[in-house]
């Protein structure tokens, strides 16, 4: 854990991103992470039924976030589907993902929207997405009533790279706030690299999402298409040529989260969680890019703590 001002935060890593292109994603790749005492949470998308992975994760004492995005893309699952047959198949597939998250005793299920649609179709697609999220919240409450899995929704860019339906933070927050009126087990994940790709200000995005934020990602991205290795939602390591974000940006993002009360919020994890999401480029290793991200997070948190304490004095 680390401190900013009077609040304690958990530090996590996104295993699913760092090992996305690795030949092995099994227990042997989890062990080095849980041996690192600075890691309090692990985010991944392991197959249901992997007893070895489940045992290691359970014994570790780490909080688990089940990441559905890669599974949804690889299986062409669009949560905004409107065709009756496609929608029925999508909901069945999403319920199985909830089951897998429950099997690992995950605290959060991280999901996102499918591809953007024509402007005149957006309202209908967002309504369909909202209906899907409501069903997932209901199913999560039904299958683990004593301690329901939380659904956390992560917004992406709409025009730069991923081109997802949601999208701008203000639109995302409006949808999630509406669902939360009926289901308490939903919130938002704010990824600082997605905020940058949306062309939004960190402090404004955090303020717009407000009390809905239950999870955050520290990450890098590229905004210059002339630098393809880092461009877009690359989650490149900090310091990669073409990467847009650095230490000052992380300090600004962390400061905005803390000022908005994230550190004092009731969340499903042991403490408010901020994870580093790094992808492994050619010639790099997952372990080194994760260390790169963790050092950036912890060093920036120390700077933010000093600034916060000074401002309170």
8 A C-beta contact, residue 289 and residue 32: no
For the segment 131-156, the average pLDDT, to the nearest whole number, is 98
Tokens representing 206?
Answer: 């955090």
8 A C-beta contact, residue 186 and residue 149: no
Residue 84: pLDDT above 90?
yes
pTM score, whole prediction: 0.97
295: Cβ–Cβ under 8 A, 6 or more apart, which residues?
Answer: none
Angle 305-307-313 from CA coordinates, rounded to 5°: 100
pLDDT of residue 249: 99
Q: For strands 108-111 and 213-218, give the pairing.
A: unpaired
| Residue 232 to residue 31: CA distance in whole angstroms | 30
Residue 313: pLDDT above 70?
no
pLDDT of residue 7: 97
Phi and psi torsions of 90, nearest 5°: -65, -45
For the segment 48-52, the average pLDDT, to the nearest whole number, is 93
Output the DSSP codes for the chain. -EEETTEEEEEEEEHHHHTTT-S--SHHHHHHHHT-TT--EEEE-PPTT-HHHHHHHHHHT-EEEEE-HHHHHHTT--TT--SHHHHHHHHHHHHHHHHHHHHTT-SEEEE---B---GGGHHHHHHHHHHHHHHHHHHHHHHSTTSPPEEEEE---SSSSS-BS---HHHHHHHHHHHHTT-SSEEEEEEHHHHHHTT--HHHHHHHHGGGEEEEEE---B--TTSTTTTBT--PPTT-TT----HHHHHHHHHHHHHTTGGGS--SSSS-EEEE--PPPTT--HHHHHHHHHHHHHHHHHHHHHHHHHHH-
* Position 290 confidence tier, pLDDT thresholds 50, 70, 90: very high
* Lowest mean pLDDT across 26-40, 72-86, 91-105: 26-40
204: Cβ–Cβ under 8 A, 6 or more apart, which residues?
Answer: 169
Q: Which neighbouring-strand residues pair with 110? A: 67, 152
For the segment 292-297, the average pLDDT, to the nearest whole number, is 98
* Position 26 confidence tier, pLDDT thresholds 50, 70, 90: confident
Of 16-20, 70-74, 98-102, where does the model show the most confidence?
98-102
Residue 129 CA to its chain's centroid (Å): 18
Residue 309: pLDDT above 90?
no
The per-residue pLDDT for range 204-259, each reduced to its tens digit, is 999 999 999 999 999 999 999 999 999 999 999 999 999 999 999 999 999 999 99
Residue 25: pLDDT above 80?
no
For the segment 78-107, the average pLDDT, to the nearest whole number, is 97
Residue 9: pLDDT above 80?
yes
pLDDT of residue 21: 85
**Residue found under tokens 């939602």:** 233
Q: Name all domains of the chain by residue range, CATH numbers in brackets.
A: 2-312 (3.20.20.150)
8 A C-beta contact, residue 141 and residue 95: no
Residue 63: pLDDT above 80?
yes
For the segment 258-287, the average pLDDT, to the nearest whole number, is 97
Tokens representing 30?
Answer: 């989890």
Sign of the CA dihedral with 281 first, then 53, 47, and 105 last? negative
């Amino acid at each position: 854990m680390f401190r900013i001002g009077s609040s304690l935060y958990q530090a996590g890593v996104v295993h699913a991103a760092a090992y996305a292109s690795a030949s092995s994603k099994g227990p042997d790749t989890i062990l080095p992470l849980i041996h690192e005492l600075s890691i309090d949470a692990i985010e991944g998308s392991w197959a249901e039924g992997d007893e070895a992975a489940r045992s290691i994760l359970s014994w570790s004492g780490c909080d688990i976030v089940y990441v559905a995005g890669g599974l949804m893309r690889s299986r062409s699952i669009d949560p905004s589907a409107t065709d009756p047959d496609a929608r029925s198949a999508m909901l069945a597939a999403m319920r199985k993902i909830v089951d897998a998250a429950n099997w690992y005793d995950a605290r959060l299920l991280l999901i996102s929207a499918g591809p953007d649609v024509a402007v005149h179709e957006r309202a209908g697609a967002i309504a369909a997405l909202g209906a899907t999220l409501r069903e997932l919240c209901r199913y999560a409450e039904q299958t683990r009533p004593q301690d329901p899995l939380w659904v956390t929704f992560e917004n992406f860019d709409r025009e730069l790279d991923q081109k997802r339906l949601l999208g701008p933070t203000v639109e995302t927050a409006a949808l999630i706030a509406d669902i939360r009126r009926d289901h308490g087990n939903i919130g938002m994940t704010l990824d600082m690299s997605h905020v940058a790709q949306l062309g939004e200000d960190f402090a404004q995005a955090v303020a717009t999402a407000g009390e809905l934020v239950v999870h955050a990602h520290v990450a890098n991205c590229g905004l210059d298409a002339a630098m393809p290795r880092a461009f877009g939602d690359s989650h490149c390591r900090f310091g990669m040529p073409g990467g847009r974000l650095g230490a000052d940006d992380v300090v600004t993002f962390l400061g905005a989260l803390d000022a908005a009360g994230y550190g004092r919020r009731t969340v499903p994890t042991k403490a408010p969680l901020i994870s580093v999401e790094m992808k492994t480029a050619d010639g790099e290793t997952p372990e080194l890019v994760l260390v790169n991200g963790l050092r950036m997070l912890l060093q920036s948190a120390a700077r933010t703590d000093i600034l916060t304490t000074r401002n309170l004095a």
